[in-house]
Amino acid sequence: MKTCTYCGRGSDDGLVACRECGTEFSSIESVAAQPTLSRRGRILVGLGALFVFGVAVIAMPALLLAVPVFAIFYLPIYLPLLVSFAFRAHEWRGLRWSLRVGSLLAFFIWLSGMSSRPNFGDDVGGNLAGAGHNFVWTWGSGAACAFVAVVVGLLLRVVLPTRPRSSSD
């Protein structure tokens, strides 16, 4: 004997639909076979979605501000690398590679300066001194390495031979 999950009445096993309400047993079984969340599960899913949304709303302004600040702060370290991709001509290969090496060298100089950072303290003055230290190592190493890379690249431009042009005979 089959029991209808819609109305709760019993029906013979051979019937395809409930004799009381007319609901088909196969459609009831397929609906009943689908997993459903309990009330507690729906509440937990809702709270989880609310938490994710809240974190996104709170963190988004900080992220939107942090990305440009970091981009400007580290500009002298990565800018020579980006500029090196602008030189496509074969004659400028010396400048292109010297800018790339200069950018890499600036990164390692900056890294060594950050690893040897002295303890300035946890007060406002110490935080300002630490920020000044970071700024000097970042912009100093980046600007110095970029300047040396440009000078070396221009010297290589003069020294390195250019491609021989094919002459039409």
Q: Residue ranges per domain, the chain?
A: 2-33, 38-65, 74-159
Whether residue 17 contacts residue 25, with contact meaning beta carbons closer than 8 Å, is answered with yes
Whether residue 5 contacts residue 24, with contact meaning beta carbons closer than 8 Å, is answered with no
pTM above 0.85, yes or no: no
pLDDT per residue as tens, the chain (169 positions): 777 777 777 777 777 778 778 777 664 445 455 567 788 888 888 899 998 888 888 877 877 888 888 889 899 999 999 999 998 888 888 999 999 999 999 999 888 887 777 788 888 888 888 888 888 888 988 999 999 999 999 999 888 877 665 555 4
pLDDT of residue 58: 81
pLDDT of residue 66: 83
Tokens 């400048």 appear where? 95
Please tell me whether residue 1 adopts helix, strand or coil conformation: coil
Tokens representing 139 are: 């912009």
Tokens 């303890």 appear where? 119
Question: What kind and span of H or E run contains 11?
Answer: strand 10-11
